Structure 1
Amino acid sequence: MTPLIFLPGMMCDARLFGPQINALSGRRPVMMFPLSGHDSVQTMANDILKHAPPDFALAGLSMGGIVAMEVLRQAPERVSRLALLDTNPLAENPEVKARRAPQMAAVRDGNLRSVMRDEMKPNYLADGPNRGAILDLCMAMANGLGPDVFLRQSQALMDRPDQSMTLRAYTGNALVLCGREDKLCPVERHQMMHDLLRHSALEVIEGAGHLPTLEQPQKTTAALIRWLEDT
């Protein structure tokens, strides 16, 4: 059975995929690679490839999707299936890049919690009964990873390459999935990725924002199972 590798979003750990790991680990080997040790997506991807199985299914959310695309660029023959969740194949927009410098300065001054609380977390989720608990989990993940990881990941996102040609060249089975209410990576961006990939399904999850793995775990897991089992 082909192993499945999950790559998490910025300032997230394996808990981002907790419901999916619980549901899928009885079906196939499941792994999660952290994205905490390097300040470039190229180095992150290279490190994953050093430790990953010879071939694998790859699913990344947000920053994890960005790194997944770089893994695909470096070793397309090893990625048997690709799932891109709430992510962006383009290089960083100059306006977004300009906002990162003050965020990084605030984190260097000891204000990681306030940056996460005031500038990042409010953009993550759709309204729903579990919003508060999910935001608390996001804060716990961020605090656990700490300011140095925030700075490395911010630098990596600022300097990331455009991966449109990487997606256009991929011939494997792909899933493009996002929450309907994702403000960071809107549905239109996922339609573009769907159009670039030769063999992809587009799934838009109702009642979810940027983190459908936690906001709508059953719907997201069902979509992943269809992707993994589709022949």
Structure 2
Amino acid sequence: MTVATVLVPGMLCDAALWDGVRGGLGPDVVDVEITAGDIGGMAEQVLAAVPGPFRLVGLSLGAIVGFEVLRRAPDRVRGLCAISTNAGAPRPEQRQGWLDLARSTVDGQFDAVVRERIAPTMFADGKPELIGAFMAMAHRVGPAVFLRQLAAQATRRDQHGELSRHRVPALVLCGDRDALCPPAFHERLAAALPAADLKVLPGAGHLLPWEADLGSLLREHLDIDLTEETKQCPKS
């Protein structure tokens, strides 16, 4: 049976997040949108998107959802890549920040929220082309989904203890200039996962797939053999 690779984006991100890596992950790649109002509902969206076993690649909120997927269906998860994320429970200042963002969005300030408060935290260097691409992606996701994602963030739990029970092959990736999820978060996460490798990429920020070449890292650590998987894919 072919093992699918499921790509789960972060908050205010869509499938375009993975455009630079999708082509190197074999023929059976599934993009999942996470739009439920809690982490459990998002995990069920992932589990419903593909039958059978899969590898999961998630960024930020997408990785947090991946931890819950692993908790609910450990027999289906054959590999995990957690990028730019945090396996801890929400901190009080985070909860307050999400409430503030939600209030401003409800008040019709979605564009300003994305431009002034979210976009500046995404990249190590605020290159105009990256900021512009992120703004466009965030507007495709839209304020309604953003509000549900903010609500879902508040339903997170600390997953470090749960993750320590699972020997799934895992890769933990972060940038050394991530303003939202610094390397210390990933060091703790990698220490919790019994079969994890940690890679800290220099000069990169939070939206790692747009700032670094992740293709070979993902293929190696998720054990994706493009030659063998191509053989299994029928010719058109």
Q: Runs of at least 4 residues of structure 1 off by over 2 A?
A: none
Residue 95 (structure 1) aligned with residue 93 (structure 2): yes
Aligned residue type for 1:229: D
Q: Distance in 1 between matches of 2:62 and 2:9?
A: 5
Q: Secondary structure at the match of 2:21?
A: helix
Structure with greater proportional helix content: 1
CA contact (8 A) 1:23 1:221 kept: yes
Equivalent residues in 2 for 1:59-208, closer than 5 Å: 59-127=57-125, 131-208=127-204
Q: Distance in 2 between matches of 1:166 and 1:133?
A: 39
C-alpha displacement of 1:230: 7.8
Aligned residue type for 1:23: G
* 1:18 match: 19
Q: Distance in 2 between matches of 1:146 and 1:51?
A: 22
CA contact (8 A) 2:78 2:169 kept: yes
C-alpha displacement of 1:145: 1.4
CA contact (8 A) 1:171 1:198 kept: yes
C-alpha displacement of 1:52: 1.7
C-alpha displacement of 1:141: 1.0
Identity among equivalent positions (%) equals: 36
Q: Secondary structure at the match of 1:45?
A: helix
Q: Of 196, 221, 224, which aligns to 2:215? A: 221
CA contact (8 A) 2:24 2:219 kept: no
Q: Distance in 2 between matches of 1:211 and 1:160?
A: 21
Q: Secondary structure at the match of 1:92?
A: coil
Q: Secondary structure at the match of 2:55?
A: strand
What whole-Å deviation, never above 9, does each CA across 1:50-96 have from its counterpart, x for those lacking one?
23221000010001011011111111111000110000101111111
Q: Distance in 2 between matches of 1:53 and 1:203?
A: 30
CA contact (8 A) 1:49 1:71 kept: yes
Aligned residue type for 2:169: N
CA contact (8 A) 2:34 2:45 kept: no
Q: Distance in 2 between matches of 1:123 and 1:108?
A: 21
Q: Distance in 1 between matches of 2:224 and 2:71?
A: 23
Q: Distance in 1 between matches of 2:205 and 2:63?
A: 16
Q: Distance in 1 between matches of 2:217 and 2:39?
A: 26
Residue 58 (structure 1) aligned with residue 56 (structure 2): yes
Structure 2, gaps ≥5 residues long? 226-236
Structure 1, gaps ≥5 residues long? none
C-alpha displacement of 1:212: 1.3
Q: Secondary structure at the match of 2:130?
A: helix
Q: Distance in 1 between matches of 2:49 and 2:142?
A: 24
CA contact (8 A) 2:30 2:50 kept: no
Q: Secondary structure at the match of 2:119?
A: helix
Q: Distance in 1 between matches of 2:224 and 2:44?
A: 28
Question: Do the aligned partners of residues 132 and 22 (structure 1) sit closer, same or farther apart at CA in structure 2, a change above 3 Å counting?
Answer: farther
Q: Structure 1 length as normaliser, TM-score?
A: 0.93
Aligned alpha-carbon RMSD (Å): 1.4
